[in-house]
């Protein structure tokens, strides 16, 4: 029992550590994104010598965030992984279908404004969140 409990505690603490690690990478990525977007506009007056490294830094941190997310997912147990997989499948499907329809509305001039990728990011985030909530409820 003690051995099993020790294993469980280490798994639980590993999941907590993985979650904190992922949160850290996500915050760093958001900060680097803000720097890459607003830096040229408000800090260094569109100087390419600073803008290109800022975008490169954002990319590098973004890949770090992806690896942290993979590690987080691998640390979950099999039901938690299933919930995540179903939520990601739902979010990907909705985003591709709605995103292409949205793009078509733009290129056919049905809508009077440009289709912005930021809208798709919001859509994927909301559908992923909804998918996780539905999964949590389904297996509660």
As measured in angstroms, the least distance from the Cβ of 84 to other proteins is 13
**HEC profile of the chain:** CHHHHHHHHHHHHHHHHHHHHHHHHHHHHHHHHHHHHHHHHHHCCCCHHHHHHHHHHHHHHHHHHHHHHHHHHHCCCHHHHHHHHHHHHHHHHHHHHHHHHHHHHHHCCCCCCCCCHHHHHHHHHHHHHHHHHHHHHHCC
**Scanning residues 53 to 82, which ones bind other proteins (CB under 8 A)?**
77-80, 82
- 2 interacts with other proteins by CB under 8 A: no
103 makes contact with other proteins (CB under 8 A): no
Q: Is 11 in the site for other proteins (CB under 8 A)?
A: yes
Q: Which is nearer to other proteins, 76 or 98 (CB)?
A: 76
Interface stretch with other proteins, choices 26-34, 95-103, 115-123, 131-139 (CB under 8 A): 131-139
Residue from the set 47, 104, 119, 136 that interacts with other proteins by CB under 8 A:
136
127 vs 73: CA distance, rounded Å: 18
Nearer to other proteins by Cβ, of 79 and 126: the residue is 79
Contact residues toward other proteins (CB under 8 A) are 1, 4-5, 7-8, 11, 77-80, 82, 136, 138-140
């Amino acid at each position: 029992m003690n051995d099993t409990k020790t294993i469980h505690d280490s798994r639980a603490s590993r999941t907590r550590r993985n979650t904190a690690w992922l949160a850290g990478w996500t915050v760093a990525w958001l900060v680097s994104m803000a720097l890459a977007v607003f830096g040229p506009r408000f800090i260094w007056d569109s100087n390419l010598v600073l803008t290109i490294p800022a975008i490169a830094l954002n990319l590098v941190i973004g890949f770090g965030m992806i690896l942290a997310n993979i590690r987080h997912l691998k640390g979950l147990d099999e039901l938690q992984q299933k919930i995540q997989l179903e939520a990601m499948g739902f979010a990907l499907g909705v985003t591709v279908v709605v995103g292409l329809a949205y793009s078509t509305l733009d290129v056919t001039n049905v809508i009077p404004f440009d289709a912005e990728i930021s809208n798709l990011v919001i859509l994927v985030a909301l559908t992923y969140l909804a998918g996780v909530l539905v999964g949590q409820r389904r297996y509660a």
